[in-house]
Amino acid sequence: MLAAGFVTGAAPVQAADTNLIVNGGFEDGLTNWFVNNGNAADGAQLAASSDAYSGANAALVTGRATTGSGPMQDLSGKVQAGQAYTLTARIKYENASGPATKQFFATMHYGGGTYTNLVSVTATKGQWAQFNGTFTIPAGQAVSTARLFFETPWTATPATDPDLHLMDFKLDDVSVVGAAPPAPASKTIEVVGKLPGEHNPLIGHKFGADGFGLVHDGRVYMYMTNDTQGYAPNPTTGVSPGINYGDINQITVISSADLVNWTDHGEIQVAGPNGVAPFTANSWAPGITKKVVNGQEKFFLYYANGGGSSNVITGASPLGPWTSERTSTLINGSTPGAEDVAWKFDPAPFVDDDGQPYLYFGGGPASTSMPPAERFNNPKNIRAIELDDSMVATQGTAAVVDAPVAFEAGHVFKREGRYYFSYSSHFGGNDFGGSQQPLPGYPGGGQIGYLISDNPMSWPKETYAGVLFPNQSQFFGAGTGGNNHQSVFEFEGKYYFSYHAPTLNKRINGNTTQGYRSPHIQELAFNPDGTIQQVVGTYAGVNQVRDFDPYRVFEAETFGWSKGVATAKVDGSSAQFGGAAPNLVVRDVDNGDWTALSSVDFGDNGAQSVTAKVRALAAGGQIQVRLDTATGPVVGTVAVDAPVGQWAEVTADLDGVSGVHDVYFTYTGPAGVDLFEIDTWAFQAASLELPVTVTASARCVGGKVYVAVQARNDHDAPVGIALETPYGERSFAAVAPGANAYQSFNTRAVSVPAGSATVRVTGAIGGQDVTTVRTVQHPAGTCGG
């Protein structure tokens, strides 16, 4: 450890001092605590103990593998550089063979190799000792990662004397008091990053990389590395520090039924102490597939746990809920056949037509045992392995994928009985044999190459078929280079290619980007011999495969385009996707922001109203519904006049809304405040009515009153007409356009009061069956003297 001085004394006086430790007394068991895992060698067991300094519980750490293997809590985002803090805690060790006294440290891990000892105490065996001191975080210290843990003084070989270095110990009553955590930096993207009319990037309100497409039940789900997790733009300049991949432990999910309007499903907390698989630290480069296991359809989401291993979690649907069937990583150094793979990451699953599943993984520097030219041209750094029927374990030995100039991002799909393996190529350098030249036809740096094989486990270099996609900078210009990651999916008879590019980052900051990537898709075309036509990256993207249906309840976080808004998870389930799906809302809605839907089909008869489920945050907010552009004609205005802070449904009538239009919801209200949150939208179709003219009269015939009812068909097609009165009914089939249905009903009375008759008309409008009911009044009638 890097020892640092510490200062004891009175705590600093600060107006907003707060305790940053959660569950410091362990009264909630081990909640928010875990064993330090900053190094691969770290390891221990953490358990609750009733031998507490105070209260009911303390933490007991046993089986320590290193001196740093101790209880840890993540303070990332809570502590601030330049601030002073007071740390207190109680610690005790009782090992019979241990020394009479032992020094312990409270230490902060700032990421990478930066460790700082904060406060120290020398404890007497069998007695509770107290940490009590202050520390100041240096003004220049990066604190995006800040993890506090308790340890014994560092030594390189603690196992040579475990009684001296690796004793069990107990911890209780931990507190770190100081400046309140800083307000989180706003991640809201205020610029229009996906321009109206363009379909790439897929979303403009957040980032996402390494997109992997899954088609299920008429929708495409896209799973992505959550690049937004570390995005923290400077409030003044709007520029964020560069992306920190070490912070990413979530996977972002979006979905679409038309490939243009995408619904944000938020993030899956995959890794980290509170993740689905807490024994992993990162979640990069997801890959997903589905399979029926033991009669139940399940979804398997694979991901890279940094560069050293890969893992899988299991879902009951494409949106979860998610569980881990494993307690250790799926792919790691013990995976047969993967020993020489430098980076055991980028797992991509594939289930063949016969139900046999496979996993493709690997990448990184080539083995130094190979000649330099081979290290460059055929690094043999990617593997294929079979999965067993459970989908959460491998079987057999991994086979080498001999992809030319391979770097990472292997992916397999099948078309017309042949298997296609795509991958990202490397950029050369010492990791790949130094200064070398690619063989003719081999990929250049940062390109997507591909192979075609008749066997999903056999990928010799002879199966290389060419470059599928050049580097994205060729299409999107300065600031958009770097490596890439792709997938291919089939949707409604067409193949699509997903990739990423920092295009949204570029629109925020110009040509200087910070590594924040955005998802794109292009249609994939094939030559007659099965080879792939090279993909051209465009902002235009793909065509919308169908018009958007507005006549239902749908999530407000469904965007074709947007400006200035963000999304957030809230309690409850999704109105559109059901109880298993998380519920998101549109938030950070300010005056002048808007969201939009592409190609909404209102039909010939049109919409009569729109309803929004909203939570007002300020008085005076409004939603204007516009057609075709953000400044287009206003066809309806929703007054968000619900009580502030409460969810409510608000409705507005619409005027002149029919046919197919882009729809913009523009938001207005007091400046400088968040106006409202939006959960769902629903449009109501205008009522369809068959045109008919009806009359009724009373007259005398033979001393009795007759009620005469007439209905004229004003429709352009035959209709059925039923005439109904208290005195009788009559039906007419196929009344021609312009013709009348008429009946004079005998009341058998000399006098009747005024009353009404009902006319029921049935027919079709635009292929839709319609029934129109009209009521007509008739006067009173009297016959005789």
Residue positions annotated with a catalytic role: 210, 408
Q: Which two tokens stand for residue 485?
A: 């990651």
Q: How many CB atoms lie within 10 A of CB 668?
A: 18
What phi and psi values does residue 534 have, to the nearest 5 degrees?
A: -55, 135
Q: Which two tokens stand for residue 282?
A: 């990162």
User: Got the DSSP string for 190-228?
Assistant: -S--S-TT---SS-SSS--EEEEEEEETTEEEEEEE-GG
Enclosing H/E stretch for 598: strand 594-601
Query: Residue holding tokens 């991640």?
Result: 187
Give the three-state DSSP class for 103: strand
Exposure b/e, 709-732, CB count within 10 A at least 16 = b: bbbbbebeeebbbbbbbebeeeeb
User: Got the DSSP string for 416-434?
Assistant: TTEEEEEEEE---BGGGTB
Q: How many CB atoms lie within 10 A of CB 774?
A: 15
Q: Which two tokens stand for residue 99?
A: 């020394």
Whether residue 466 contacts residue 535, with contact meaning beta carbons closer than 8 Å, is answered with no
Q: Which two tokens stand for residue 61?
A: 């750490």
Whether residue 366 contacts residue 381, with contact meaning beta carbons closer than 8 Å, is answered with yes
| Total residue length of the chain | 785
Query: Across-strand partners of 74?
Result: 147
Whether residue 586 contacts residue 676, with contact meaning beta carbons closer than 8 Å, is answered with no
Give the three-state DSSP class for 380: coil
* ω into 502 cis (within 30 of 0): no
Q: Which two tokens stand for residue 718?
A: 């035959």
User: How is residue 539 annotated by DSSP?
Assistant: S
Q: Which two tokens stand for residue 411?
A: 């992916």
Give the residue among 667, 657, 598, 601 at the shortest CA–CA distance from 633: 657
Beta strands 84-92 and 129-136 are antiparallel
Whether residue 223 contacts residue 485, with contact meaning beta carbons closer than 8 Å, is answered with no
DSSP H stretches of helix in 627-784? none
Beta strands 719-725 and 129-136 are unpaired
Whether residue 738 contacts residue 730, with contact meaning beta carbons closer than 8 Å, is answered with no
Distance from C-alpha of 396 to C-alpha of 412, rounded to nearest angstrom? 19
